[in-house]
Amino acid sequence: MKKLLRWLVTTILGIILCVTLCLVVVTVFAIPVELTRFKAPLEDIAAKWLARPVQIEGSIIVATSLKPAFTLKGLRIQNPSNFEQNDFLLMDEVRLQLSVLPLFKKKIHIPEFKVHGLTVTLEENEQDKVNWVFGPQETNESTDTTDETSTSPVEQAGSTTDSKKKQSAAMLANDSIVVEKLDLQKIKVAFYSKGEEQPSTFILSRCDGEMDVGKPMILDIEGKADDFDYSIDVSLASLEEFLRNNRTWAEINLEIAKTSFNLTGDLDLKTAARSLTLSASVSGENLSSLGDLLKIDLPPFASYQLTTQLHLKKNVAELQKLKIETGASNLTGSAHIEKVGEDIAATVDLHSPYVQIDDFIFEEWSWEASEEPGEEESLAQPTEDQKDVKSIDEKSDQGGKKKKLIDPQLLQQFDCTLSVVSDRVESGKDFLGSGELKVTVKDGRIDVDPLSLNLPGGSVDLEASLKPGNENSEGSLKVLIENFDIGILVRRKQPESAMGGNINLNIDLNSTANSIAELLASGDGYFDFSGNLTNLKSGIIDLWAVNLISAIVSSTKEKQSQINCAVGRWSVDNGLLTSDAFFIDTSKIRICAKGDVNLKEESLNIRVAPRAKRAEFFSLATPVKLQGTFSDLNVKLGGGGVLGTVAQMIVSPVSTPLKRMFNHKIPHDGGDVCGMELGPDNRDELVVPGCQ
């Protein structure tokens, strides 16, 4: 009996020891176990859980230990039958390592989760359902509407930010789900939007991440989008909430094309396709860096930043609390953007306490496309260096040339209105007053009505309408400038210049045209200007008509006269400017001009004749003719030329006293003509003393 009892005890202890040794071996050493033969029941379990077909086309291997690792190769998850794309997910290999001991506390600790080779196809169907949410989905629009008495989604988001942060902090302290290391490589994501045949594609070359207790889940992603490198940092406040309820508080930082994007807010995957409210910002050192990505030639706004509360609904984006900063200028307001079919409708209302004109003027950038190369240039054979440059440019186009902002095809896609009101407008250090701008784009036509500045003592008003394109259409340009300090323009080039004075401009042109240049070259109407200049000396110009001997022997500084004004009133017929009145008045002479300027052919033919305000002895007063093109101008003597001038000088001792007795005296300050009104009236009755 004792032997039987001893044998029984020994046997039991031996079994316990063997089991213990086996457990020790299994828990201490990673022993691979092939489970591929069990993939059929695993597929059924996964298919019921995900409510869609699941296939395991490769192997299943489990490495035993206290942290067992599950390796699965060839996983395919299909879409439900109501989606056009067949597959939701294709995975080459996934490895999941799980800690055993925390499971006894109903906690999931994942030391490592690795995925290599993954293709995810996201799709939105005609019933507004999405394939990335597992389980029942609501398709009504109740989530997109709010009670009229309730606050807006953006205000609701702002009021709940603190509570969300407190809730997220509590979830972070919970160690129910912990991911120590996340490793994703070779990931491709394709998104099919409703009604779109071609998807948007994103490549994730690498994705590393982790989630420790007390810290948010962090994802560090690198990849390519449309051949542009990008990096994304994603922070999820609670992985547990995200997995259980398809929602969490999230922050996304994107870097692409030298531009930073930031999105922060509550992310709910069930309703994200229908309604989403986020805090958003965009910033960069130069806006033009986004040009290649968007295929649009953007203006080079420097050091810009845009922040807003962004509310997204189906085909609608609301930008509230919108703030834009570039250079020293800043604007605030709101925007409503809506997709209507294939087009975009937008309304942007902005207000600015301060606008610096220098932030919006660029010498090496144009809104319009450059002119086509001339025939000689187009026929010329490129050199080897030019071929190399062209090859580089073609590669940098990345699928197509960038469109100008007023490209006809681009304008046809938009129905937009931009309104800007500014309390203070400056150009450099010069104060221009307050300003207003309203630009409308509709059916490919651009309307500016108005662009206005309330200057100290004056104003600037501009109205324009133009439809760029291959075919001409009705266009118009109206400009009315009163008492504009010309010194502002001079100081842009020479900041220390003391030159100043007021200029006036009155332009009214109408034509059939497809560009501003064409509008000027074929316009009908009038083009008037005048200027009262200060600190501008007439200099040697006085020698032209005053007493030659007196001017030479006198002190230049003492005798030098001032330019009082310049006035030009031109009638325009099909781009041909004909002078109704054109003169320059100084304190000693009046220079009269008459002729025409052809804007279409870029040529001019003008006769200029000076007249001393007081008849002078030995005066030159030789008329000249200006003829030729804008780039090749010729100056010739007019009238009797040199012989006529010599004859006048010889008889001047006799004729000058008679002229001083009987000729009408012209004021030294030009007061008789410098205040001439501009505009369409009295053009046939213009009389300029001394210019008859």
**Integer Cα distance of 97 and 101 in angstroms:** 13
Half-sphere exposure of residue 11: CA atoms within 13 angstroms, side-chain side: 6
Strand ranges for 428-541 from DSSP E: 430-442, 445-455, 458-466, 473-485, 500-513, 524-534
pLDDT at 416: 94
pLDDT tens-digit readout, 518-542: 898 999 999 999 988 776 655 545 5
Q: Which long-range contacts (CB under 8 A, 24 or more apart) does 249-254 make?
A: 249/164, 249/165, 249/167, 249/168, 254/230
Residue 250 burial (C-beta neighbours within 10 Å; 0-12, 13-18, 19+):
buried
265: Cβ–Cβ under 8 A, 6 or more apart, which residues?
157, 249, 250, 276, 277, 278, 279
Q: What is the predicted pLDDT for the residue at 99? A: 85
pLDDT for position 273: 62
Pairing of strands 302-313, 275-286: antiparallel
Q: What pLDDT, on the 0 to 100 scale, is given for residue 104?
A: 78
Q: How far apart are CA 555 and CA 535, in angstroms?
A: 18
Question: SS3 of 401, please?
Answer: coil
On whether the CB atoms of residues 513 and 472 are closer than 8 A, the answer is yes
User: What is the spatial distance between Cα 552 and Cα 173, in angstroms, rounded to a whole number?
Assistant: 94
In degrees rounded to 5, what are phi and psi of residue 644? -65, -40
Can you tell me the distance from the alpha carbon of 215 to that of 166, in angstroms, rounded to the nearest whole number?
Answer: 13
Q: What pLDDT, on the 0 to 100 scale, is given for residue 645?
A: 46
Q: Give 329-388 pLDDT, tens digit per residue.
A: 999 999 999 988 888 999 999 999 999 988 888 777 877 655 444 443 443 444 444 444
Closest listed residue to residue 33, CA positions, set 77, 63, 70, 9? 63
Return the sign of the alpha-carbon dihedral for residues 148, 153, 159, 160: positive
Contact at 8 Å (CB) between 436 and 422?
A: yes
Distance separating alpha carbons of residues 597 and 607, to the nearest angstrom: 12
Say if residue 455 is exposed, middle or buried (CB neighbours under 10 Å; 0-12, 13-18, 19+).
buried
Structure tokens at 312: 């997204």
Query: What does the buried/exposed string (b/e) look like for 283-303 if buried means 16 or more CB atoms within 10 Å of the residue's CB?
Result: ebebbbebbbbeeebbbebee
For residue 268, the surrounding DSSP H or E stretch is strand 259-268
Structure tokens that stand for 402 in this block: 């960038």
pLDDT at position 152, please?
A: 47
- Locus of tokens 């942060």: 165
Q: Is 435 within 8 Å of 452 (Cβ atoms)?
A: yes
- Write out the two tokens for 630: 């804008």
pLDDT the model gives residue 267: 79
Which residues of the chain carry a pLDDT beneath 50?
26, 139-161, 165-171, 371-399, 540, 543-558, 617-619, 642-647, 649-658, 660-662
The structure tokens listed for 421 are 């009101």
Let me know if 187 is exposed, middle or buried by CB neighbors in 10 A (0-12, 13-18, 19+): buried
Look at residue 18 in the predicted model and tell me its pLDDT: 65
DSSP-assigned beta bridge partners for residue 300: none
Residue in the block written with tokens 């210019």: 691
